[in-house]
A = this chain, B = another copy of it.
Amino acid sequence: MKRESGGKRIEAVMAEIRSRIAARGLVPGSRLPSVRAFARTMQVSPSTVVEAYERLAGEGLIRSRPGSGFYVSSPLAPLTLSEIGPKLDRAIDPLWVYRQSLEDAPELLKPGCGWLPASWMPEIAIRKALRAISRGEGRVLADYGTPLGLPQLRQLLSRRMGERGIAAAPDHIILTESGTQAIDLLCRFLIEPGDGVLVDDPCYFNFHALLRAHRANAIGVPMTPSGPDIEAFERAIDEHRPRLYITNSSIHNPTGATCSPVVAHRLLKVAERAGLTIIEDDIFADLEDEPAPRLAAFDGLERVVHIGSFSKTLSASVRCGFIAARPDWIEPLTDLKMATSIGGGRLSSELILLLLKDGSYRKHLDALRVRLSRAMDETAARLAPLGITPWIRPQAGMFVWCKLPDGVDAADIAQACLADNVVLAPGNAFSLSQTARGFMRFNVAQSDDRRIFRSLERALKNAARSLAC
């Protein structure tokens, strides 16, 4: 390129960046190569790259972040993970909804949030476990945990997984800070920027944010009541050659779907052919009445990694997640965990262990399942008169994925209800393809307040009125 004129060189650099963005070699939100590095790659001077980047920024294709470099811009995946606009626009920003739900704001009603109210958690048992630890060994109070995490808890997790047909020895289980950190660690281990990753469409919206943080190329596969659409799954594999698939095979978030054995079997066959790894995020497992067959059980942890946590079923305050993976991945994953976070807190693991051991967790789960099932029916009964109907009746869990009346946009409803301090979870927050605008996820454990339904009713009436216009 050295014989070209300065202007031509700048244009060549701009063309190269444009084509990388077009080919998704550079995905929205990802950082452009550093000026120095790219000057070397293109065999031009750094000033040529600076000029090219500035022109592209002028065009709005990329954006500069002072002191940090240039990023591919996009209305969907802006500069940083979220971009916060004026307050009312936020109703449709999943990260904002999420953050709002996490704020200590007692005036808010949160049928859109993703966890149980604290009052549904086994408070008495947690208090008792805390007292037991306060009387226990000094090292538990002050020392680091072991690299893999508390051995007795890993033994217990191994046994519990065994009950679901998943053969994972205690030494093939790693404790983490949370389920999310478990998936993050696996992403670090398994993928690199630009890699394709399959997710369900719709799926837990934080998967989108997590994959954006890894600069991965998320690819959606439509969800059906019996698992991902297997034909679409195969097409996506042929087209994008993804490296990874992240899913909840049972009590899927947000739809409540459960993978049928037929679909599970086909998924695994396709994954094997394509060299695809599957992360089975099973954090809702303990809410099931009848354990559905797990991908990790069919597969024997060959290409499936199984993860879980206790945030949704025991306590989100006591942080503890886990990974069960093939034996040869345990050591590098542990090294990576130590390098990036040292690891799960000893206190949290000891607390979880106590709660699991003394039977109070099982008792809590038995009562919780009954309570959730009842709340599921009650919520559905309250939504029916509003014309909001469940997509399926989930076998278990806290979520019901609902279809709004025809023509109504869930984002509009969410925006209107936010003015009444009701935080909802509109469908497109979960949908990579933005094809779920007519859907809404309800957390049945957070929907026991008439004000929610009154607010919904008002918003729907207004929406119907403007539809009629």
Contacts and interface: CB of A to CB of B under 8 A. Distances in A.
Which range holds the interface residue count of chain A? 35 or more
Most chain B beta-carbon neighbours within 10 Å: one of A126, A194, A339: A339
Contacts of A181: 177, 340-342
Interface string A54-89: 000000000000011100000000011110100000
Given A188-B213, A335-B81, A127 B135 contact: yes
B115 A138 contact: no
B133 A130 contact: yes
Can you tell how many copies of this chain the complex includes? 2
A325 B68 CA distance: 14
B102 A115 contact: no
Contacts of A121: 138, 141-142
Contacts of A180: 339-342
B141 A317 contact: yes
A441 interface: no
Contacts of A315: 141-142, 347
A266 interface: no
A277 B65 CA distance: 13
Nearest to A180: B342
Interface stretch (A33-41, A391-399, A443-451): A33-41
B141 A339 contact: no
Nearest to A181: B341
Contacts of A81: 332, 335-336, 339
A147 B103 contact: yes
Interface in A139-190: 139-147, 151, 177-178, 180-181, 184, 188-190
Given A180-B340, A181-B341, A319-B177, A34 B192 contact: yes
Contact of A147 (B84, B102, B212): B102
A258 B316 CA distance: 40
Interface string A22-36: 010100000100101
B115 A141 contact: no
A317 B332 contact: no
B316 A194 contact: no
Contact of A341 (B69, B140, B144, B177): B177
B134 A130 contact: yes
A443 to B, nearest CB: 14
Contacts of A2: none
Contacts of A145: 102, 317
21 contacts: A23-B40, A25-B41, A34-B243, A67-B277, A84-B331, A95-B338, A118-B141, A118-B142, A119-B138, A123-B141, A126-B142, A131-B131, A141-B315, A141-B317, A142-B315, A142-B316, A177-B177, A210-B340, A318-B345, A341-B341, A347-B351
Interface of A: 23, 25, 31, 34, 36-37, 40-41, 67-69, 79-82, 84, 95, 98-99, 102-104, 115, 118-119, 121, 123, 126-128, 130-131, 133-135, 138-147, 151, 177-178, 180-181, 184, 188-190, 192-195, 206, 209-210, 212-213, 241, 243, 275, 277, 303, 311, 314-319, 331-332, 334-336, 338-342, 344-348, 351
Given A134-B134, A213-B340, A317-B347, 11 more contacts: A67-B275, A80-B335, A98-B338, A126-B142, A142-B316, A177-B181, A181-B340, A184-B341, A206-B338, A315-B347, A316-B346
